[in-house]
Structure 1
Amino acid sequence: MNQGKVKFFNDDKGFGFIKDSASNQEYFVHVSALIDEIRENDEVTYELKEGKKGMNAVNVQLA
């Protein structure tokens, strides 16, 4: 499991970005990939899955 922090999340549009704690890379996250509700600055754990435009965060839950 990867760990990171929610950099941005828009509830209305249902997507956002997570910044990885180890690599500082940012990953797209869609509301359909959430286990828990998330907000900006939440600490989360997640897995990565190849998406149409690169790696996406999936199975996202609060740390």
Structure 2
Amino acid sequence: MRKLFDPERIIREVDRRYITSISRTKAWQLEKEGLFPKRIRLGNRSVGWKLSELLEWVENQPRV
């Protein structure tokens, strides 16, 4: 049985936005600069991110 909070779970765009609170464009810019987790191609028109990498990225952001 797959756990709901599996850190290796692949997260789609809607959930990525919710977890990181940044826009698609900003995520893409940061990824190009090597400052955001790389997307994983899931098909011709779909991508995702590893939940563990997104959570690590969020944890390492400066607190405001």
TM-score, normalised to structure 1, is 0.30
Higher RCO by CA contacts (8 Å cutoff, separation 6 or greater): 2
TM-score normalised by L of structure 2: 0.30
Question: Highest CA radius of gyration, 1 or 2?
Answer: 2
Question: Comparing both structures, which one devotes a greater share of its residues to helix?
Answer: 2
